[in-house]
Amino acid sequence: MEINSPILAPIIALAIWTMIMWLWMYATRIPAMSAAKVDFTPGVYINDDLKKLPVKVQWQADNYNHLHEAPTVFYAVALTLALIGAGDGINLTLAWAYVGLRVVHSLWQSTVNIVPIRFLIFVASTAVLIWMIVNAALIVF
């Protein structure tokens, strides 16, 4: 069975963004670990060594982890919408909105990281995701 749904594009876009955040995380973290003289000798390294790193360096790592939490639900719902032939129209718009909000969330968390505003961005993305879930549920059930 071949599926060529427009909603596959935002799925891949978010996957690409996740890898961009992975690169950003290591581009900032490796130099910081070197500067902090974190020792990676087996039996010597402990996670507490990461506490030596500047807080701003941890923000990219935190965001990379966040891109493996709620977005996993997005991937499942978007793929479901593609499979049931509902990956266009409002669902496609919602999928792109979700991806856009997650990119904004990443950029905010990785640069400014004022938590109340970051939380509002997260709530907005979650509302979009809930809307997608409801749309899929109305079709599936």
Domain residue spans of the chain: 8-140
Task: Tell me the percentage of the chain whose pLDDT exceeds 90.
Answer: 75
Could you please report the per-residue DSSP string of 115-130? HHHHHHHHHHHHHHHH
Cα end-to-end span (Å), the chain:
22
User: pLDDT tens-digit profile of 62-99?
Assistant: 999 999 999 999 999 999 999 999 999 999 999 999 99
Check residue 54 and give its pLDDT.
85
Amino acid at residue number 81: L
8-140 is a CATH 1.10.3090 domain: no
Contact indicator for 93, 59 with CB cutoff of 8 Å: no
d(CA 70, CA 83): 20
pTM: 0.91
User: pLDDT tens-digit profile of 43-58?
Assistant: 665 666 677 788 888 8
Residues in CB range of 1: below 8 A, 6 or more apart: none
Could you please report the per-residue DSSP string of 9-46? HHHHHHHHHHHHHHHHHHHHHHHHHHHTT----TTT--
Q: Mean pLDDT, to the nearest integer, of 104-116?
A: 97
